[in-house]
Structures are given as structure tokens and as C-alpha cells.
Amino acid sequence: MAFTVLVLARTRNLFGVVVLSGIYSFLMATVLIALDAVDVAMTEAAVGAGVSTVLMLGALHLCKSEEAKPAHRPWLPLALSTATAALLIYGALGLPDFADPNAPIHQHVAPRYLQNEIDVPNVVTAVLASFRGYDTLGETTVVFTAGAGIIALLRRRKGKRGSDEK
């Protein structure tokens, strides 16, 4: 996966980039299954590898598919990224170990969710729709708003073309 990402960062042909990001999404879905997040993996495979690849290809069709050579050397971003990475790794050493059952995340609200109070075996669905109904309502509204925004951006007015530049 790391290798795919590195190639992704270097490739200049945007078509290749899009295909690689599809592959990357599939790999990510596999990793998520290994981490027991089946629901998330399913969504990632359908959304990341399916829908968003198609969308990117659609957008590429509207733009040209070759990236220009960057005018300046990327030393500053590289240095900044490395510094951020070093800082984050230093910070991550203070986090709980991988799969530590005593980590705070397993102590707080999760045990109550897992008690199956409302008799729905798939806890993810139960938490999504019932315990955290407000969250999901908000998320649905965000998705709706994004859709409305895209309609506003890409809809052509009847009669004349959308852009009035020249």
C-alpha cells in the first residue's frame, strides 16, 4: 500500500493517478477487513474503488489529463512533511499499544453498546441509527448539501452557456 502511495505521488499522468487511487482504495478495504471493520470495508470498496474512481474519470474527461511539470523544487513541502511526520511519530509513542484491551477506547461507552439493549445483532447499525441518530441525521444532511452544491455548480442555464467569461 505504501508503495502504491509513493508511485501515486510521483506519477504525472493523471489517468494513472486515478487508477492507482482505485487500487489504493481496494487495498485499504482489505486492511479494514483485517481490522474487523466489515461495514466500513464494504463502504470503502463500494465508494472509494467504485463511485469515486468513476467520478474522477468523469472530471478528467472534462480537464486535460497531463500534469504540468512543477515550476519550483518541492524541497520546502518535503521538509515540512518530514518535520510533521517526526513530530507525529514522537506523539504516537505516547498512545496506547496496538490492540491493548485496557486502552481508554475500550473502557468508555463501547461496553454499553455491546450489551445489545435493543436486540439488533449488528452493533454498527444499532449505534448508527439509534444511539447516534442525531449524528447520522447531520451526516445525511451534509451529503444532501454537497449534492445540492454540485447541482448549483454544474447545472447549465437554459439558452446560454454557464460561464460568462469571454
Partner 1 sequence: MKNDLVLRVIGKLLIPFILLFAVYVQFHGDYGPGGGFQAGTIFAAGIVFYALIFGLDNARKVVPDRLVEAMLATGVLLYAGVGVAGLLLGGNYLDYFVLDSDPIHGQHRGIFWVEAGVAVTVCGVMLKIFYMFASRGERDRDVP
Partner 2 sequence: MSELIEHFSYIVTIFLMVTGLYVVMARGNLIKKLVGLSVFQTSVYLLYIAPGKLIGGTAPILAPQYGAYSNPLPHVLILTAIVVGVATLALGLALAVRIREAYGSIEEDEIITLDHRGDDLRNQE
| Interface positions, 86-115, toward partner 2 (CB under 8 A) | 88-89, 92-93, 95-99, 101, 103, 105-106, 109-110, 113-114
| Interface positions, 59-118, toward partner 1 (CB under 8 A) | 59, 61-62, 118
Dist. CA 31–CA 26, nearest whole Å: 9
Residue 82 near residue 67, CB atoms below 8 Å? no
User: Considering only CA atoms, which of 123, 119, 99 is closest in space to residue 111?
Assistant: 123
Min dist CB 108 to partner 2, Å, is: 8
| Of the residues 19, 23, 26, 56, which one makes contact with partner 2 according to CB under 8 A | 56
Total chain residues near partner 1 (CB under 8 A):
42
| Of the residues 14, 19, 23, 26, which one makes contact with partner 2 according to CB under 8 A | 14
Task: Spell out the residues 6+ positions from residue 31 whose beta carbon is closer than 8 angstroms to its own.
Answer: 1
Q: Which three cell numbers stand for residue 78?
A: 518535503
Beta bridge partners of 66: 13
Distances (CA, A) of 151 to 147, 148, 154, 160, 165: 6, 5, 5, 17, 20
| Of the residues 5, 55, 85, 109, which one makes contact with partner 1 according to CB under 8 A | 55
* Residue 155, contacted partner among partner 1, partner 2, none, CB below 5-8 A by kind: partner 1
Residue 35 near residue 11, CB atoms below 8 Å? no
According to the binding rule CB under 8 A, does residue 117 interact with partner 2?
no
Dist. CA 82–CA 1, nearest whole Å: 19
| Of the residues 26, 30, 78, 157, which one makes contact with partner 2 according to CB under 8 A | 78
* Residue 13, contacted partner among partner 2, partner 1, none, CB below 5-8 A by kind: none
According to the binding rule CB under 8 A, does residue 9 interact with partner 2?
yes
Min dist CB 150 to partner 2, Å, is: 5
